Every structure is written in C-alpha cells, then in structure tokens.
Amino acid sequence: MSTTPPSTAPNGRSRVFSESDEIQILKCLIRATKSIPPPITTVGTSTINRIIKRLDHRFTVSQITDKIRRLRDKHHNHARNRALVRNHHDRRIFKLSKRIWGKKATPRKKNNKSEDQGAIEVGGDGVEKLDKFPYLVAEFSKVLPENEVWKQKMKRVGEEKLRKMDQEWVMLKVEEAKLVAKKAELIQLQIMEVMGGNGSANGV
C-alpha cells in the first residue's frame, strides 16, 4: 500500500508520519474501539500491532503510541480553539478524532478483554497514586509547597511518562552525589597543599 511521503512540519523538521499515516492510524482506532464509548483512554497492544501492520511495519510501538498521544492532544487543542483547524487535513483529522476522543466520558463495563489486557496508557485517566514516583513528587513539593493542583494534573500525565520523569531526578541526584564527593576530595587536597607547605595558612 503506497502512502504519501513524509513532509516538513511547521517547525522545519522532517515529519516522521505523513498525513496519510495519521488518517490510517485514526481509522484503525475507530474500527478497534467502535464498541467502546468515547473518549478512549487506553489503546490495547493488539490495536497497536494492527496499526503497525497497516503502516507496513515502518514504525515501532513507541512511535505509534507517542503519535496517538499527539493526535489526541491535537484534537483537544482544536476542540478548544476551532481557529486552529486551518486546512482540509486538519478538518478531516478533527472529524475522525471526534469519534475517538470527542464525546463526554461514559461509564464502561470491564468486559472487553481483548483491548484492556496489556493496554498501553495514552493519557486520560493517568495514574491513581503518585507514591511510585517519590523523587519527582518531592521536587514538585519543594517548588510548589502550597499548591495542590499539580498533584491532580500529574495524575493525568500517564505512568510511563511519570516514571521517566522520576528517573531523571534519580539520575540527577546521582550526579549531585558524585559532585559532592569530588568537592570534598578537592577541598581536602587543597587544605593539605595550603597547610602542608612552608608556614601555616596564616603565613606565620
């Protein structure tokens, strides 16, 4: 199946997904979730694999998952500001996306095992608790000690993204510990050089 070659995005960078790819992804999502009332908050691994196959295996699972998130965010932006829907492709994307993310949330029965099992978080419900991300939460608490809104916002980000953000703080703290050790080693060396030379540090 031939597809439109990737073009250049507004920011000047080459687009990974063509406009045709975006349409195919949305159509696959609509077919896969037609029995589930929108908005869709998770996409099953089986659906992700079908999309990859539909696009001739040109993309990875992470690329498809990230693209779905971006399409969802684009839909919400267009829904808030219709002036952003500027061309024919935007209108087509918005029309298809509305069938996936456009309606008010409706309680769903947990009987769709094919889609729920091994589902990949793409936003929406996010996580229930933040105790899995102690370093990230600790840093936000330091900066925003009297503002609890960020906790609710953070819960909507998605577990995969929060885990990555938490790990970034872990790595930073490791680097800080190394820096502290180097500073201690340096000051000890310099004290020995100063105090161990001719005379004392006071020059007596």
Q: How far apart are CA 198 and CA 204, in angstroms?
A: 9
For every residue of 127-191, DSSP letters joined together read: -S--TT-HHHHHHHHHHSTT--HHHHHHHTT-HHHHHHHHHHHHHHHHHHHHHHHHHHHHHHHHH
pLDDT at 20: 92
pTM: 0.46
Q: What are 21-72's pLDDT values in tens digits?
A: 999 999 998 888 777 777 777 788 888 888 999 888 889 999 999 999 999 9
CB 15 within 8 A of CB 6: yes
With vertex at residue 79, the alpha carbon angle to CA 3 and CA 150, rounded to the nearest 5 degrees, is 110
The larger pLDDT score, comparing residue 1 to residue 84, is at 84
The C-alpha R_g of the chain, in whole angstroms, comes to: 25
Q: Which pLDDT score, from 0 to 100, does residue 126 have? A: 61
Q: What is the overall mean pLDDT for the chain?
A: 78
